Chain A
Amino acid sequence: MPDRMQTLTPGELSLLHDSTMDILSNTGVAFNENEALEIFRKKGHRVEGKKVFFREAHIREALATCPSRFRVKARDPEKSVFIGGDDFVLLPGYGAPFVTTPDGGRRQAAMADYDDFCKLVQTSPYLDMNGFMMVEPHDVPPRTAHLHMLLSSILLCDKPFMGSPVSREGAAQGVDMLRILFGDRATEEAYTVSLCNSLSPLQFSSEMAGSIMELARAGQACCVASLIMAGSSGPVTLAGVLALQNAEILAGICLAQAVRPGAPVIYGSTSSAMDMRTGGLSIGAPELSQNISATARMADFYRLPSRSGGGLTDSLTPDGQAGAESALALSTAVRSGINFVLHTAGTLGSYISMSFEKFMLDEELAGMIKKMVKPLEITPESIDLEMIRQVGIGGQYLTQPKTFKLCRTEFFNPRLMSRDNFDSWNSAGRPTARIRAEQEKERRLAEYEPPETGGALKRDLEKYVAKFKG
């Protein structure tokens, strides 16, 4: 199948793998977490100080127990999702300290913003999972912020959601909340996916290593991900980045499999180029999409589900640049076979902020891309030679019963993308996409209804969170 982006040959994939093995066995990976070091030592790894070294056999053993596809159960079983193989999920943005306001300015994100994003995910026709830390709220104590966010994620949305890998303790508290929700079943299979990032180059912080152990032990999925800035926290060439991030991701996956063989993991990367003029990270760069495509191939090489970014941009406002960059990255992710597309909607300014209008526009983009990758149905019925014969030369298909029958379902129906003619657009006051998005967001929030949560369950969860206050 010709796809001009997927250039990696089997020989190149092997070279990347072999280079990674060299890094893992000779340079090693540092884990700033004593229990992790102990676990690796027991598994027969060479451990020097905080440095852990891996032999190919270690990697193969870990890969052998990783599921290539797994389910994440939702409170509403209808909304459970599969990650891996042909199945992919789209999620909102993550980790933004600011909210971009409709006038182009920005303000510190608040808990109310987090709640609004939960509501938009709940009512989204295209986002499959709720995120975590879609914004970092400034108006709740940092010590308990993750608990407030988890509580909102659970009470305002019944899609599967992301866990809190903020610290080992935070991860464990998330598992406690799962136990309140689902009882003993909570640790039998995955109800959450958590984002566990390496600290490039070649390290895992104590928080992240601790979270991986805590979450994997509880059967919760870990997305082990690397974000290398090519040229600063990693090599300037993408080839070097691919080998380096591969070492980090595989090392993290080894830890998860060591604590619980079979624990669901995702091979993640959102590495991209450093902007050479400023030293800042660029996630609107074409190199981001190149890395997305290659990451999908590497994950597939190991038969692992993959994660990348989606609607990413460096633009600070939902403008043409934001639309173009987001569309390129998101469509690359979905078309390349990425299974867990974080940051599908809302992100602006290299992760610095979330915008409600951008969220709505990205969401529509997600709908368009989901339509694009839906396989064409080629059958005698869908070709319908009889109709083509009947209409013949120079006729029309507008009044064919089939056209009438399929006119609402055959094509993607945009909510925000304008197809107006000039006069009606002009007389409506020339609304831009951003303005239509703002109106649609208001409508969605006004019509939002929370999912059913049993009174006792809600009380128990709230009681649990309240315990840590003050």
Chain B
Amino acid sequence: MAVQDIYQAVIEFKDAEVPILVQTELDAGTDIQSILNDGLIGAMDEVGKKFSEGVLFVPEMLMAAQAMKAGLAVIRPLLSDSDAKPAGTIVVGTVKGDLHDIGKNLVAMMLEGAGFNVIDLGVDVDADKFVKAAQENKAELAGLSALLTTTMPAMEQTVAAFKEQGLGIKVMIGGAPVTKAFADQIGASGYSEDAPSAVTLARRLMEG
């Protein structure tokens, strides 16, 4: 099965090969949804799983995400409006006062790999900017990152700002000093300990 080849190429980090394989499948008339879900996204789920198990390393996970995105670029223009519906839209950023972005970038790439529409706001993002960006992009989710304990209060303020705005946007948080208990305490919708489990969490939050 040739969609399986796409899946395999993503898992083996073949970023040059994936777009060619996707094009071959399109030319053969294979269903776009199958290429997307069984090939590209399915592969990234496996990559995330292997990363969480410690089998794959960070640069390898990123390379797989790059390969996946290269494949996605081929089919994106061909997607009809209904086909193109992303798994969800999420604004992500590192909170106010914090300039650390490696963890946040990993989460963003894994979410993209899972078919989410990711709006990356960068670092040092204040509560207003988060809320505004979420409104503008009609986001269902927001992802807040912090590495410094000193910036954890900024997470709390951002969660409060989303609540105040009242659009029901769900906020997930993460970062080295962050815990599930802290997430519960500040009223966030969820917490995840690494990038692949952020994908699982985002999917769960999308289901309601």
Contact = CB atoms under 8 A, between A and B. Distances in A.
A404 B193 contact: no
B87 interface: no
A389 to B, nearest CB: 20
Name the prevailing secondary structure of the B interface residues: helix
Contacts of A422: 179
A436 to B, nearest CB: 12
A258 B105 CA distance: 70
B194 A421 contact: yes
Contact of B62 (A404, A421, A423): A404
Nearest to B64: A404
A404 B67 CA distance: 13
Nearest to B57: A407
Interface string B187-208: 0000001100000000000000
Interface in A42-93: none
Interface of B: 13, 57-60, 62-63, 66, 101-102, 105-106, 176, 179-180, 193-194
Given A421-B193, A421-B194, A423-B193, A398 B62 contact: yes
A399 B57 CA distance: 12
Given A407-B58, A408-B57, A421-B176, A398 B102 contact: yes
Interface string A397-433: 0110001100110000000000001111000000000
9 contacts: A404-B62, A407-B57, A407-B58, A407-B59, A407-B60, A421-B193, A423-B179, A423-B193, A424-B193
Contacts of A423: 179-180, 193
A424 B180 CA distance: 12
Contacts of A421: 176, 193-194
B13 A404 contact: yes
B177 to A, nearest CB: 10
B196 to A, nearest CB: 12
B11 to A, nearest CB: 14
A343 B59 CA distance: 38
A404 B176 contact: no
A396 interface: yes
A414 to B, nearest CB: 11
B105 A398 contact: yes
Contacts of B66: 399
Contacts of B180: 423
Contacts of B63: 399, 404
A336 B185 CA distance: 54
Nearest to B192: A423
Given A404-B13, A421-B176, A398 B193 contact: no
Contacts of A407: 57-60
Contact of B105 (A396, A404, A424): A396
